[in-house]
Each structure stands twice: as C-alpha cells, then as structure tokens.
Amino acid sequence: MTPRPRAVVVVTGSELVRGERTDLNGPFLARELLSHGFEPARIVIVGDGEEELADALREGLEAEVCVVSGGLGPTHDDRTIELLARAAGRELHLDPRLEEEIGGVSRRFAERMGRPYTDFESGVQKQATLPEGALSLGLAGTAPGVVLALDGRIAVALPGPPGELQRLWPRALETEPFRRMLERARPPERRVLRFYGASESAIAKALADAGGEAPGVEATICARDFEIHVDLVVDPGAEGGADELERAFLPPIERYLFSRDERPVEEVVLGLCRERRLTLATAESCTGGLVAARLTSVPGSSDVFVGGVVAYSNDVKRRELGVSEETLEAHGAVSEEAAAAMAEGARERLGVDVAVSVTGVAGPGGGTEAKPVGLVHLHAVGPDGARSVSFSVPSDRESIRRRAAIAALHLVRRLLAQSRDSRV
C-alpha cells in the first residue's frame, strides 16, 4: 500500500498549555485530514512563546501538510504568520485588498464601540501582512486564513476560535495548492464498531485471536465514555481484508456490539423509539438532567423525547413523580425501589411510552457503608416490561454522574432491543 501523505497539526495558545481551555481544533483537523487521505502524524500544542512556536512550525513544515490553528490576531502574542514566514524562508508583505477588508470590519466595530479607528489601525495592518505567495482564505472575524505552497508541501494557518476555523477549513481544501495535494492522497474507509458491557482487554483478546490487523487495515481500540470503540481504518483495496477481520473478530463479543457507525447511544435510543413510534421521558436525581441533555443534543429528538423531571430532593420525588412516602422511608431515595417508582411516575405523569430513572450517591460526601459513594440504581420501563440495573463504581463525582447517564441510555437501548445481556 502506498503510504498516506503525512500531516502535522500545530495548535497554538498559552491558555491551552496551561490547561485553562481544552483543544478542540486538533482533533477536528486530524479527523478531517484522515478523511481526505492524509496521515495525521502528530498534534502539537504549544504556547504563544516565540521559541516554542518557531520550533513547532519548523518541524511541522517537514510534513507534506502542516495545519496551524491560532495566533492570527492583532495582538503582540499573535506570532503565527511572522514565524511561519520565517520557517518557510518567505518575506512578509502587506496585502492592500486584505487591509481594506479587515479595515472595514474594524471600522464598523470601532463605530459601535464609540472608539477611534486609530486604536485598531496597527492591528489591521498586522493581520493584513502575509508571507510572500500566500493565498488568503478570507475572514472569519478579523483573522484571515492562509494557504502557503512550499515546493510540494503546503502550510495552512487558520484562526483559533473553533467556529471560525471550521468556517475557513473548507475554503482551504478548495484552493489550487490543496487540490494538487489531494490528488496525491487516497482517502481510507473508516469503520467504527461500538461496544458496551465488555472490557477493553476482552475486545483486545478477540482482535488478537482473530489474527490482528490485516494488510492495509489499521485497528485502534479505545475506551471512550465507558464504551469500547474499535476504529478500523481501511486503505483502498483492503476492504476484503477488513471484512474477513470483522467476521473472525466479532462472534465472541457480538452481543456487546450496539453500533456499527458513528451514532452515539442516545441517537441509537431515539432511533429505536422512532421505529416503534414510542415516546420517551426521564426521571433523574444524581445525574441532574445529564440523560435528558444527551438526548436533546441530537437534532430532531423532539419527535421522541417529551421531557424529564430532575427530582433531586425527596419532596420533588413525592410531589412530581408520585414516589410514596412508604418507599422512601423503607428503602431510601437511593434504592432499586425508589428508581422503579421514579420511572413509573415519569411514565404516568408525563404520559409517555418509555421512561428511565437514575438515583445514586455521586459524592464526594453522603456515602455510608450500606450505600457508598458511587452506588447507582437505574430503572427503565416500557410497553414490553421493565429492566433495572445497579452498580457501584467508586470514583469522582463527575465520572459517577457521566457513567450513570450513559448506563441509563444503554439500559433503555437494551429494553427496546430486548437484549439478553443485562450487564452494565
């Protein structure tokens, strides 16, 4: 197989290095590059310091494609264009048309803010100064994206805000230098197998027993959101090998497979409800609405999801969900009985076909010997019966809440699919 052209992503921003913000651009660009047939060799995150950024750019330009995000603004610590020009051995030149375009945006902003344009003039000139031979991708905000062709290689500089970067990225792909590079690339097929209820080691063993990676097929096993995802990157011409690997790999673990595409569990649940024309609601205590949030993150979920009740206090459990005082007194709010009553109450009070409930001890306080931090009870009820599950996973508060929300969605999925596997 012909190797894919290498790509390096350089993400700049001292706030990323300090941990104040999470990088969203690196993963987005890596996925995009791979989908277009490039091998994302590295994602490098560097601060705004001149020495570190200069080193990262020099190394990045050794790859066929180097994509840089951030550092295109008007301030003193926005150094990407200057250092990119230096690493490429290109002079910097003021682009009059770009200066006029950025100046127009800045003048309108100055007027709205009641400030003189002279406050912005030096920043406008800085942002309109490009390396010799660079192509402007236009503006997202006041920062222009840039494509620079370099003897069989290309560099792309894009703004740091993810929304702006994602608006300009398609324009970079349409430029003549990038189109020439795309002619050398061979986009692979990507298959995503999502498992729930099996350990990472069990999935790895099944893959090893099946013979491991086939020629032209790269397999990656990754634990994500308490699920195990197997990504198969299949080079053109290797589809048959990938099919054979799947046939050998899946039988011992197929009962844990819930998706063969990019759909997350909440989308799978909504699809199952749609197939049977069922409506859905939630009753949540320790998760505080996380289950409902994941469901409503899917566009079009309103045709299935009716609503939810965040019943954090016992009073709300009694008043809004009809959980009896006897149940709470005898078993407590964190119990199988309370979870069942919450789900039944949500189904009845909200008038839906299917309801799921979550109650637990998220911590860090509130745990006892009988009901430790990390204990969670779930219950799902629908037209064909009910399913419940309990688990205890000592962890931090956020992990417990996320684990509970994901487990609740998988419980609904199993109820609707009538899966025989009842493990969390």
Cα separation values, 38 from 20, 32, 174, Å: 30, 9, 16
Measure the CA–CA gap between 125 and 408, rounded to whole angstroms.
54
Measure the CA–CA gap between 78 and 81, rounded to whole angstroms.
8
The pTM (predicted TM-score) of the whole model is 0.85
> DSSP string spanning 18-35?
TTSS---HHHHHHHHHHH
pLDDT score for 1:
53
Domain 6-182 classified CATH 3.30.420.40?
Answer: no
Angle, helices 80-88/50-60, rounded to nearest 10 degrees:
50
Half-sphere exposure of 328 (CA within 13 A, CB side): 15
pLDDT in tens, 292-351: 999 999 999 999 999 999 999 999 999 999 999 999 999 999 999 999 999 999 999 999
Measure the CA–CA gap between 173 and 274, rounded to whole angstroms.
37
The 8-class DSSP code of residue 194 comes to E
Architecture of domain 189-259: 2-Layer Sandwich (3.30)
> Which secondary structure element, helix H or strand E, spans residue 143, and what is its range?
strand 143-150
- Judged on CB neighbours under 10 Å (0-12, 13-18, 19+), 152 is exposed
At a CB cut-off of 8 Å and minimum separation 6, what does 105 contact?
A: 139, 141, 142
**pLDDT < 50 regions, the chain:** 419-424
**Token pair of 397 as six digits:** 């508060």
CATH number for region 265-417: 3.90.950.20
Which of 138, 209, 201, 206 is CA-nearest to residue 171?
A: 138
The residue ranges of every structural domain in the chain are: 6-182, 189-259, 265-417
The amino acid present at 382, given as its one-letter code, is G
Phi, psi of 248 (to 5 degrees): -85, -30
